Chain A
Amino acid sequence: MASRKNSHKIFFLSLSRYYGFYTGGFIGFVILLAIAEQMGMPNAWIGYIFMAATFGLYAGIGVMSRTADISEYYVAGRRVPAVFNGMATGADWLSAASFIGMAGTLYLSGYDGLAFIMGWTGGFVLVALFLAPYLRKFGQFTIPDFLGARYGGNVVRTVGVFAAILASFTYVVAQIYGVGLISSRFLAIDFTTGIFVGIAGILVCSMLGGMKAITWTQVAQYVILIIAYLVPVVMLSQRITDVPVPQLMAGQVLQKVTEREQEIFNDPQQLKARELFRHKADDTDARIKGLPGSLAAERQTAVRGLARIKAAAVPDPSAIRDAEQALRNLPRNEIEARETWGREAERLRASAKASHPHAEPFPGENENERDTARLNFMALAACLMIGTAALPHILMRYYTTPSVKEARQSVFWSLFFIFLLYFSAPALAILVKFEIYTKLIGSSIADLPAWVAAWGKVGLVRIDDINHDGILQLAELTLNPDVILLATPEIAGLPYVVSGLVAAGGLAAALSTADALLLTIANALSHDVYYKMIDPYASTPRRMVISKILLLLVALVAAYFASLKPDHILSMVAWAFSIAASAFFPALVLGIFWKRANKWGALAGMAAGLGLCLYYLISVKFCGMAPWFGIKDIAAGAFGLPAGMLTLIVVSLLTPAPETEAQDLVEHCRYPRL
């Protein structure tokens, strides 16, 4: 045994050396590119070189980690040291939404957005206390494996497979969508091509080496993504406060933002702009109500206007072009009009709404609204935390450490590496808000900084000088949440190479999460369904082939869905947490901590939790059901989880205690050595 321990140590040291060199090499590479940029290398080249270098790197790690060994393919041979597993989990966890969208969400919602920050970190406390060490001791391959072994029989396993796929699929579609978006934006290729380039990058890695390959790639991806996130934030902090520690300085900047908010919100021109937006929204509503007559009238006006311009003594060609364009842009029919005008009215109402101070918790018109906002914050934070502790692609990572001891340490490292990003995001949001509130708002629209126009071109920034005073008021500026992070390098006045770095970081975040999710889905199908239920006598080569074919199929299906640019799927990503929390958490945790939990209880509990959660999600989102206690659909787990927990306990107590086999398994999991 001493020799095994020794070989772990040697392995750890050589890993540290490799990744040390790698990190140094990556920093050197970025510096070289920065020098090349100063010497006049065009921006497009920098984008290409970044993409080619990072994709080449991931593919290279994938090729080097190729394997035909079952344990390496499913759990990386269980020799990933705690620190590296922590980094891999960090990359696994930090998705496109966390990397690109989080700062923007915090910018737009202020305090209320912090529910995500608390939820996505606090969940790891539950992973550490309730799951990771016990699952590591159990030591199989997938999460449904645990359910199958603990509760006996394939029925519980099947429910587990179903829930795992349900929770992972919408999530992976959103990641692939993110990959398509970033690669199309920075490589100037079309969105669908971007998706398939991304899928190729994912498959090279995961098909060749399964969990082993994605683990070592994820470590490399974590290094890139954390550098890419911290560099612009630190530089922005240096520029604004002269201190390069954004987390420390954000509090003082927040005070300045709060002071500035009072001036901006009460500026007479701002109030006037909001009033104008409200009128325009009312007009749009009236037009929608007047359909189809209003559309016909508009078309007639446009046609008449065009005729008048054409009939002028000296027709102005650009005016004709504009008028023709306006006519073409009119909705073609009533349904289309209802949709476009509806969206427009919504946008106008959003601009007309009163802004609220960044630091103010639970803003609302009255006490009732504020209480509902508070309740939603708590419910959302709880769902995100418990969901974190139940998502299969995260829990799976704790099967890969060499021991229970390292599994525990590995949760600490995971949380630490995730914490580095999440505790910088609120600071970033505050710093960017300060820049925008002091440099943009109240300035003349004619001389806004260049980044505003650049991101305006791709539709992420929108300026509408509704009161025609030539000065930008807060209500006249609309920002897409993604732009907050993407534009940070330009706001901080950094060279283009940092923008390329941020894109590479976003890509690393999306790819690493997609890797893990695809593997989770494919493994649920190949290991749990095929091997455990259909053909338990399958040979090792056959299992590997089936796993890889399923991985390819799942990837293609997910890519197909992402290429449809589905609005609904993107808004459903956060559902994964409620689904996982309701379906898995009670069965997993009580399976370890309560010996009396039995098959019937688990089955009924999972079905009740998942069922109630899905019912609530779908009814509120699509069927217009009034939310219970005002809880939004995103926090449906607030009902599903207690229902699942209660059902599991009651049904278990009503049915016979589980067999000694299951009870022995519980003992086995509880003690690192028994």
Chain B
Amino acid sequence: MPLSKKHQEYWNKNLRMTAVLLLVWFLATFPVIWFVRDLNSLSFLGFPLGFYMAAQGSLIVYVAVVWFYARYMNKLDKNHGVAEE
């Protein structure tokens, strides 16, 4: 089936958002582990910051990323006419 321009635009936007959110996921995970000792010189809620990120902070970022993606895509579906009714 030939895809319309709108379809391609939809997919490209999806890819772009996926890449951005993947980057957020990556930053909330690996640099936070690698630089934990440096982060620990700061403190948050009484925790050393590096410890806090692994115990709570990164988790909150993950939840937010998934929430945002669902919202963004459900809107994108509608705007590009590919939403299920």
Which residues of A come within 8 Å of B, CB atoms?
A: 1, 5, 111, 114-115, 117-118, 121-122, 124-126, 128-130, 133, 247-248, 250-255, 359, 361-362, 374, 377-378, 381-382, 385, 403-405, 408-409, 411-412, 415-416, 419, 422-423, 426-427, 664, 667, 670-674
Q: Are A671 and B66 in contact (CB under 8 A)?
A: no
Q: Are A251 and B21 in contact (CB under 8 A)?
A: no
Chain A min CB distance to B20 (Å):
10
Q: Are B22 and A118 in contact (CB under 8 A)?
A: no
Known interface pairs A122-B29, A412-B67, A673-B83; A251-B46 also in contact (CB < 8 Å): yes
Q: Are B56 and A247 in contact (CB under 8 A)?
A: yes
Among B40, B47, B70, B74, point to the contact of A411 (Cβ < 8 A).
B70
Known interface pairs A255-B46, A419-B63; A408-B1 also in contact (CB < 8 Å): no
Interface of B, secondary structure class, is helix
Which residues of B come within 8 Å of A, CB atoms?
A: 1, 3, 7, 10-11, 14, 18, 21-22, 25, 28-30, 33-34, 36-37, 40, 43-48, 50-52, 54-56, 58-60, 62-63, 65-67, 69-70, 73-74, 77, 81-85
Sample (21) of A-B pairs whose CB atoms are under 8 Å apart: A5-B85, A114-B51, A114-B55, A121-B58, A122-B59, A125-B25, A126-B25, A128-B66, A248-B45, A250-B46, A251-B46, A251-B52, A359-B51, A361-B40, A382-B30, A405-B84, A408-B70, A411-B70, A419-B59, A667-B3, A674-B7
Q: Are A405 and B83 in contact (CB under 8 A)?
A: yes
Complex contacts, B85 vs chain A, CB 8 Å: 1, 5, 673
Complex contacts, B55 vs chain A, CB 8 Å: 114, 117, 250, 423, 426-427
Q: Indicate the member of A128, A404, A415 with the most B CB atoms within 10 Å.
A: A128
Q: Are B37 and A361 in contact (CB under 8 A)?
A: yes
Task: A121 to B60: give the CA distance in the assembly, Å.
Answer: 10
Task: A664 to B63: give the CA distance in the assembly, Å.
Answer: 33
Q: Indicate the member of A125, A253, A409, A674 with the most B CB atoms within 10 Å.
A: A125
Task: A415 to B48: give the CA distance in the assembly, Å.
Answer: 25
Known interface pairs A378-B30, A416-B63; A673-B58 also in contact (CB < 8 Å): no
Task: A378 to B82: give the CA distance in the assembly, Å.
Answer: 39
Total A-B Cβ pairs within 8 A = 144
- Having A361-B40, A405-B70, one finds 14 other A-B pairs with CB under 8 Å, namely A118-B33, A122-B25, A122-B58, A124-B62, A125-B22, A250-B55, A254-B47, A254-B51, A378-B30, A378-B33, A403-B84, A408-B73, A419-B62, A427-B55
Complex contacts, A122 vs chain B, CB 8 Å: 25, 28-29, 58-59, 62
Complex contacts, A1 vs chain B, CB 8 Å: 85
Task: A5 to B83: give the CA distance in the assembly, Å.
Answer: 14
Interface of A, secondary structure class, is helix
Task: A114 to B59: give the CA distance in the assembly, Å.
Answer: 11
Complex contacts, B10 vs chain A, CB 8 Å: 671
Known interface pairs A114-B55, A121-B59, A423-B55; A673-B84 also in contact (CB < 8 Å): yes
Task: A415 to B45: give the CA distance in the assembly, Å.
Answer: 24
Task: A674 to B70: give the CA distance in the assembly, Å.
Answer: 19
Task: A115 to B69: give the CA distance in the assembly, Å.
Answer: 24
Q: Which 5 A-B pairs have the closest CB atoms?
A: A251-B46, A408-B70, A251-B47, A114-B54, A426-B55
In the complex, which residue of chain B has the Cβ closest to the Cβ of A402? B84
Task: A427 to B30: give the CA distance in the assembly, Å.
Answer: 22
Complex contacts, B44 vs chain A, CB 8 Å: 251
